Amino acid sequence: MSKWCDDGENEVLNVFLKGTTRPSFYLGLYTAPSSEPAEDITLSGLTEPSGNGYNRIQLLDNDWTVSADLATHTQKTFSCSGGAWGNVYGWFLCNAPSGTSGKVYAVGQFSDGPYNVPDGGAVKVTVKITAA
């Protein structure tokens, strides 16, 4: 299940009502916290896999489908190589390609997770966010 974070709610209002420039979006995975992150989570409050082929993935505008109050992005695959990532608990959507200086817009805790990702393993994520 996914949810908007405080920074995401604020960004939607600023872009839609004030006409500010919409940021680029990046998808990442988190290994901590093990529970669903709070709405006020920041990038420094999330721990990501380190090394072993892990990088955030940029989400392109044309890959979104919007129907009623649901936005869905095409599935993305994170591939692990060179060592294990350990337990991955969920995903996050942010505005930074790396590091902790950006904003977290949405998070999703894996309902059937965590996924213990071994060397050679992969995690597939289909981002779905509702406006409700």
**pLDDT interval class at 132 (50, 70, 90):** confident
pLDDT tens across 46-62, in order? Answer: 999 999 999 999 999 99
What's the pTM value of the predicted model, to 2 decimals? 0.95
Number of domains in the chain: 1
Confirm if 123 and 117 have CB atoms less than 8 A apart: yes
pLDDT tens across 62-114, in order? Answer: 999 999 999 999 999 999 999 999 999 999 999 999 999 999 999 999 999 99
pLDDT tens across 7-59, in order? Answer: 999 999 999 999 999 999 999 999 999 999 999 999 999 999 999 999 999 99
Residue 1 has pLDDT above 80, yes or no: no
Structural domain span for residue 73: 2-130
What is the rounded radius of gyration, in angstroms, for the C-alpha atoms of the chain? Answer: 14
